[in-house]
Structure 1
């Protein structure tokens, strides 16, 4: 709910002040998959998750949320998946690793530590922060969720933006298997 300020202008000597109704401890978490397959348009799969305060104190995605996301991606992509993800502590959870090891349609690769430049999803977050979320004081959590969904939906329908995020990493595609990049 804290507004990200990208840039501001004002007359010399008049410092701009942005009034915010109040900081909220409520939070919105998002996981995203950028999906690439040669010959098809790139996809973006994302489930926003609002903290409802009823999940044993956990405010972000749990390993079971990532498991569900991967199952949804498998259904939508209808084929084997090569998953490349960063070293987020939930991605390294023993339960999630055990679950992924038991899936013959899923091959998992870990990115090296501290390598956000190899993660196309970081480019998606950058587009969202610099575009739809910049210079907005959100009035309530629903306003934040609507703005995030509008921005991600726009990115989702512009596969050239998703392709640009992959190109920025320097990674390439294997023509036979869909590649999914998660965060």
Structure 2
């Protein structure tokens, strides 16, 4: 007969029962009480009856307890599962090619599908995986299927990087021109056209169906002139019938009134004609700073428009111009009443760390 394996000598039955009272895992409690009976001189058969298992399993508990040296070793741990099909190098290669996107002339598609990436992984590494595995790997790598924002074909990406790099120095020059101790507020401004020919956004629906949404074909619209100060979570906006110099002048006055007393605003905006015209009279507490050409992604108000459309302005039919104005005003006022959203959407590390 095989000799029973002795338990560790740094515990006893009383100690294990004390630990069992505090334990919250039911399986661990049974194992602790079974081992406590062995410490008390009972047989392994008696311990197996306490645990409701066979003597062989009690032997396994003794081995685990002795090897791990602590009662926590008696808690079931998650099984390691099968070996991953992709190693770290292959995952990094997958991430790089997804970020670059496909070359239509080479890959034959204009956007990656999971089955295209399955084929690429096999051609590149001779690794066979299914589409579900690729989707899971992409999710783990931080990818999601998002709507792409249109980008101007002539955009110079280097200009955007230079603008961000030089932003602290430009801000410092503006600060020098202000009185000592003046609080500098960073504001962003943009305009959005909201009209009867409205956007249709994504919505939850059952798989295999295609949801519908009302879509008007009439062409009446209005413009939201919106500006935000993300650091302080505030905004200044107007809904106007035209997008021109006179409208921009009204918006500047609105922003000027929203700037804290004694503070100076640096208003960052694109180079639209009504922004750069010399006919514009800029208030004394505002300095304009212009973004590089064709670089709307540098302006967080663009993301603000998407948020407002997705939540309040899309998938609806406007009766007339007054209804457009009313709904735009409601949406903007709801946004201003949610400063946490202005902060979350508008903060940019490269701008606000200055």
Matched, 1:69 2:251: yes
Deviations 1:92-151 (A, max 9, x none): 21212xx33xx5432221111122221121121111111111211222222222222222
Structure 1 residue aligned with 2:345, among 162, 165, 170? 165
Gap regions ≥5 residues in structure 1: 51-59, 175-183
Matched, 1:6 2:201: yes
Q: Which has the higher helix share?
A: 2
CA, structure 1 residues 15+155, in 2 after alignment: closer, same or farther (shift >3 Å)? Answer: closer
Q: Which moved more, 1:69-78 or 1:87-96?
A: 69-78
Structure 2 residue aligned with 1:153, among 323, 333, 347? 333
Where do 1:29-178 residues align within 5 Å? 29-36=223-230, 41-50=232-241, 60-77=242-259, 78=261, 79-96=263-280, 99-100=281-282, 103-167=283-347, 170-172=350-352
Higher relative contact order (CA 8 A, sep 6+): 1
Structure 1 counterpart SS, 2:201:
coil
Gap regions ≥5 residues in structure 2: 1-195
Rg bigger for which structure? 2
Is the 1:42–1:162 contact (alpha carbons within 8 Å) kept by the matching residues of 2? Answer: yes
CA, structure 1 residues 64+117, in 2 after alignment: closer, same or farther (shift >3 Å)? Answer: same
Structure 1 counterpart SS, 2:334:
helix
CA, structure 1 residues 135+108, in 2 after alignment: closer, same or farther (shift >3 Å)? Answer: same
Matching residue of 2:87: none
CA, structure 1 residues 13+65, in 2 after alignment: closer, same or farther (shift >3 Å)? Answer: closer
Structure 2 counterpart SS, 1:31:
strand
CA, structure 1 residues 17+105, in 2 after alignment: closer, same or farther (shift >3 Å)? Answer: closer
The CA distance in 2 between the partners of 1:13 and 1:108, in whole Å, is: 49
Is the 1:120–1:169 contact (alpha carbons within 8 Å) kept by the matching residues of 2? Answer: no
Deviations 1:58-108 (A, max 9, x none): xx2221322232223223323322111111121121212xx33xx543222
